[in-house]
Amino acid sequence: MLSHFNYLAAAGAYYLSQDSDQTKFDSSKHTLVKLYDILEDIYLEYACAYIFYYNMILNMKEKKEFSNEKLENLKASVESYTNSRDEIVAKKHGITALFLEIWIEKFKGDK
């Protein structure tokens, strides 16, 4: 996932460039319960990837093929994968990944 700073900077640009046809935060529609539903979808997407990458690391360590270079490549791969999953899940719910980040920030600290 993009760093929070990148998302927040992009969020500012997003709001400044918004026109009236784009999704706007609506507290009656964009509830904490709906956010939990979306985050559950993302959790399921991430869980599959983490199991895959964890097994890959274990196999490399077992074969004594694990290195810092491979670790950095895996980190980049994981970031790319999670970013793509964010986009896919957000699109499934009719929003953008950027809007999702804004939504998360809106409810940060709520339970």
Write down the pLDDT at residue 42: 96
Rounded Cα distance between 9 and 111, Å, is: 25
Token pair 């026109």 is found at 19
Rounded Cα distance between 70 and 101, Å, is: 30
Q: How many CA atoms lie within 13 A of 18 on its CB side?
A: 16
Write down the pLDDT at residue 78: 94
> What sign results for the dihedral spanned by CA atoms 27, 32, 34, 40?
positive
Write down the pLDDT at residue 76: 95
Crossing angle between the packed helical segments 4-17 and 97-106, to the nearest 10 degrees = 110
Question: Over pLDDT 70: what percentage of the chain?
Answer: 79
Structure pTM?
A: 0.70
Amino acid at 67: S
Rounded Cα distance between 77 and 22, Å, is: 31
Write down the pLDDT at residue 13: 54
CA distances to 7, 16, 64, 87, 99 from 13, rounded to whole Å, are 10, 5, 46, 18, 12
Write down the pLDDT at residue 12: 58
Instruction: Pick out the chain residues at pLDDT < 50.
Output: 2, 16, 19-21
